[in-house]
Structure 1
Amino acid sequence: MVHEVWARGDAYGFFMGRWSRRVAAAFVPWLGVPPGRRWLDAGCGTGALSAAALAAADPAEVTGVDPAEGFIGHARAQVADARARFEVGDATSLSFPAGRFDAVVSGLVLNFVPEPARAVAEFARVAAPGATVAAYVWDYAEGMAMLRYFWDAATVLDPAAATLDEGARFPLCRPERLGELWTETGLSGVAVQPIEVPTVFADFDDYWTPFLGGQGPAPGYVMALAEDHRTALRDTLRRRLPTGSDGSIALTARAWAVGGYA
């Protein structure tokens, strides 16, 4: 049985964090939140989105909340800014009073929340009148090439792996459903925007090694395999990935961003 582990900030950073930071850097300016505002980063993980807000939006404060203590510890160590604080918490049951924040954001987490509608309702509850409420998720079905290649190769060797493929499991990670969720919550001025970033790997090892960290569905699947099956998957991927003459692997990653106003 594959367990989806979300605990080690260092392993997550090596696997996905380097790409999520690029999406966060593009997402924050898109929001257009004025300086001096109070931000909540719900499901902050290792702090990539909080760091982007601090760097680009000049907030008065940023509060990050995540259920994983390991991620919170990593965020505290990595985001050295007096305006930021991080605490363990649940996006579906936030501990803050109504109207507390001027911007409530969430990066790459809503599809992993058991009740995303409840989480977005909480985002709206703690948002001040007129506050920005926004999020982004990977386009697992088509736009996240590093994972699309992975699951397509995995299912060739093991058809049962299709049940773990995020592209099939997370219908929320599509623009229409994201927009509907924001509208159904009662948020106004809802807009959905693609954000695409390059994901260039220096060589095959740079692509493959992060899958051995065990953080998330695909790495969890890899580490649950018998050694011979893991080797077969590695070799299948090596053959399938588009490799340049210098050994590099140039892919792209697309996220869908959604935003509205409380």
Structure 2
Amino acid sequence: MTSSFNVQSADGYEQLMGRWSRQLAPLFIDFAGVADGERVLDVGCGTGSLTFALPHAANLSEIAAIDFSPVFVEAAIRRNTDPRIHIRQADACDLPFPEGYFDRALALLVLHFVPEAGKAVAEMRRVVRPGGVVAAAVWDHLGGMSGMRMVLDTVAMLDEGAAQVRSRYCFQPMMRPGEMKQSFEAHGLVDVEQTSLLIRMDYRSFEDFWQPIAAGEGPLGKYVGSLDPGLRAKVDAAVRAAYEAGQPDGPRSFASVAWACRGIVPTV
């Protein structure tokens, strides 16, 4: 297995995470840097949040994008109208590109879903030229995803299985403080920097917040979809009460923080 993300449909993913990935992408690009004329690789492109933001940041010569999920690859190819962008299915731990081909390799919100995340870092380093940049960002599920922690902490009070899901969710690869930086350095990258990127996830209503999870999207959706009807009804009601927090249903805003890390491929 090269991805632990649960995919039902591209549209469902867009409602669950794609809309927020698009909001995070410009912040990540600013941190990772891009320059005119560069070749850039997007590892784990999903539906294209980073891929299609890159041409707006610089006049790039080539953008390659890969994802392990055929659902995501098909959706991204359908969206693409830029001849510089090439999208294909591939494994982040076995990139189908020659050594030193790219100026930068970027991974937005993917390494935490790669069980052998260190292999993906090594592959990104391999395909980037000396002096080029490897950069990645992952959500801080333990301390930085207030909306999802609200759900997990609420449901964990109802079901021991949810407590186990919470433990796995909060400590996926690359999520502990300094973990990505240590991995980048262990794989030979230099001048490694790690920081945090902040966005807000704004929802119109509880339905807007809960629908993609209720439909089975993502790790939480997989758990919710496994519940028997009685427990499922309790979970739905408890999460709604947590979202509403004693006020009428309506707009809510949740702060969401990602760890971001970048390093340089050494020149000697």
Q: TM-score per shorter chain, which class? A: over 0.9
- The match for 2:259 is 256
- The match for 1:193 is 195
Which secondary structure state, in structure 1, belongs to the residue aligned with residue 41 of structure 2? strand
Contact 2:43 2:66 in 1 (8 A): yes
Distance (whole Å) between structure 2 residues aligned to residue 19 and residue 201 of structure 1: 11
Distance (whole Å) between structure 2 residues aligned to residue 215 and residue 247 of structure 1: 22
Query: Aligned in 2, Cα 1:254/1:226: closer, same or farther, shift over 3 Å?
Result: same
Runs of at least 5 residues in structure 1 that lack an aligned partner in the other structure: none
Which secondary structure state, in structure 1, belongs to the residue aligned with residue 104 of structure 2? strand
* Amino acid aligned to 2:83: A
Distance (whole Å) between structure 1 residues aligned to residue 195 and residue 215 of structure 2: 31
Is 1:55 aligned to 2:61, yes or no? no
Query: Aligned in 2, Cα 1:91/1:208: closer, same or farther, shift over 3 Å?
Result: same
Give how far 1:242 is off.
Answer: 5.4
TM-score, scaled relative to structure 2: 0.92
Give how far 1:167 is off.
Answer: 4.1
Query: Aligned in 2, Cα 1:95/1:77: closer, same or farther, shift over 3 Å?
Result: same
Contact 1:201 1:248 in 2 (8 A): yes
Aligned-residue CA RMSD in angstroms? 1.7
- The match for 1:232 is 234
Distance (whole Å) between structure 2 residues aligned to residue 121 and residue 27 of structure 1: 20
Contact 1:94 1:122 in 2 (8 A): yes
Name the one with the larger helix percent.
Answer: 1
* Amino acid aligned to 1:105: L
| Deviates further, 234-243 or 121-130 | 234-243
Cα deviation code 1:79-119 (max 9, x no counterpart): 32111111010010111110010010111111111211111
Distance (whole Å) between structure 2 residues aligned to residue 180 and residue 157 of structure 1: 37
- The match for 1:122 is 123
Give how far 1:160 is off.
Answer: 2.0
Query: Aligned in 2, Cα 1:108/1:197: closer, same or farther, shift over 3 Å?
Result: same
Contact 2:115 2:173 in 1 (8 A): no
Distance (whole Å) between structure 2 residues aligned to residue 186 and residue 210 of structure 1: 39
Distance (whole Å) between structure 2 residues aligned to residue 29 and residue 208 of structure 1: 31
Give how far 1:63 is off.
Answer: 0.6
Which secondary structure state, in structure 2, belongs to the residue aligned with residue 50 of structure 1? coil
Aligned residues: 260
Runs of at least 5 residues in structure 2 that lack an aligned partner in the other structure: none
- The match for 1:222 is 224
Cα deviation code 1:43-102 (max 9, x no counterpart): 111111111212223211111111111100111122321111110100101111100100
- The match for 1:181 is 183
- The match for 1:22 is 23
Which secondary structure state, in structure 1, belongs to the residue aligned with residue 198 of structure 2? strand
Query: Aligned in 2, Cα 1:171/1:111: closer, same or farther, shift over 3 Å?
Result: closer
Alignment counterpart, residue 213 of structure 1, candidates 212, 215, 219: 215
Cα deviation code 1:215-239 (max 9, x no counterpart): 2110111111122222211111122
